[in-house]
A = this chain, B = another copy of it.
């Protein structure tokens, strides 16, 4: 997407070649979204390198505007963005809460950064400080993670490109040129308000059109039910050792922090372990698991309804009853095939931090309060939707 990307120095070269980072080649950026948008095969590896490239552009731009930045700060910022997503589980967000518990992918990224820091003799100290937000110059953290960070500038354009949803395209070049620093906080020059508005609007659109597209929700719920069923069948299936470990134990944040071997095992997992295993489970004797695996592999996906009202208990019950009858399974297993819950766009829109505008007169202002942009405030609203998934060959009609 950006032509050739240059690797700035040897340390970063070594990090990229580290197995923990190379693993990202085997983790798709958008989980199972390629079931809906077949082009969405890009990986976390591409996103990480692309983000590093945009970070580099941003730092050059800030320096050109007179922001003083040491070589050490620049390198640290590049490493921080390069590694910001290194802690993702296989299939990215889809399995984020199914293999480890009580720990987010950002927290795992931080653990990995600490481990790399150990291996590279402290060379990531500053990167860690920036990533975790403890470095005094806040804007460096904000470039890595905020309402308007490099992460989003890269993934919106990338996901837009690979899904073919052109409306997600944003003017990242221009936004980067409009970034500035005021009292060590990241700000946007006032003339950039329409680009920011467009950025927020594009993000919202991608959210509804791609990130929580109902078919994607359905595939990901199917994947989750597979993992849960495997967990329930504990010990009865033959699994790859690392996956076995995470499925037959309940790994928590505390355990990961304490035991480096758990982190190492986690850093071994990728999409191929999961999908490779699904291909085997397909043949297993458990009627729930084999059926779910077959549905996934042959793309006989769930029907999905997204709505603003909670599905009625009666409705769910009826679907489960029909499933029990049709599949001849035990009553308590129907919940693997009829799944309900909520999705909200808060992960994308919310977050607390505001985007600051630097006005021509030198004042700092929350962009949501800027004249002429009542809609940005409106856009921050969190929208919650209820989903209901059930098998294609089961009828919802009364």
Contact = CB atoms under 8 A, between A and B. Distances in A.
A3 interface: yes
A122 interface: no
Most buried by B among A42, A49, A174, A376: A174
Nearest to A199: B167
A46 to B, nearest CB: 6
A22 interface: yes
A255 interface: no
A118 interface: no
B209 A201 contact: no
Is the contact region of chain A dominated by helix, strand, or loop, or is it mixed? helix
Interface residues of A, number: 63
A298 B24 CA distance: 11
Contact of A283 (B241, B270, B283, B376): B241
A195 B34 CA distance: 21
Contacts of A198: 167, 201-202, 205
Given A42-B41, A166-B171, A240 B195 contact: no
Interface string A356-384: 00000000000000011111101101010
Contact of A208 (B46, B170, B194, B374): B194
A165 interface: yes
Interface stretch (A80-88, A271-279, A310-318, A331-339): A271-279
Contact of A19 (B41, B49, B202, B297): B297
Nearest to A40: B41
A204 interface: yes
A152 to B, nearest CB: 15
Contact of A279 (B38, B173, B195, B272): B272
19 contacts: A17-B298, A17-B299, A22-B297, A22-B298, A165-B171, A166-B171, A167-B174, A167-B194, A194-B208, A198-B201, A240-B280, A272-B275, A273-B276, A275-B276, A276-B279, A372-B383, A373-B378, A375-B375, A378-B378
Given A194-B204, A194-B205, 17 more contacts: A22-B298, A25-B34, A38-B45, A39-B42, A166-B174, A167-B194, A194-B209, A198-B202, A201-B201, A268-B279, A270-B279, A272-B272, A272-B275, A272-B279, A275-B276, A374-B375, A374-B381
Closest 6 CB pairs between A and B?
A276-B276, A375-B375, A201-B201, A41-B41, A374-B378, A375-B378
Interface of A: 3-4, 17, 19, 22, 25-26, 34, 38-39, 41-43, 45-46, 49, 164-167, 169-171, 173-174, 177, 194-195, 197-198, 201-202, 204-205, 208-209, 238, 240-241, 268, 270, 272-273, 275-277, 279-280, 283, 297-299, 308, 371-376, 378-379, 381, 383
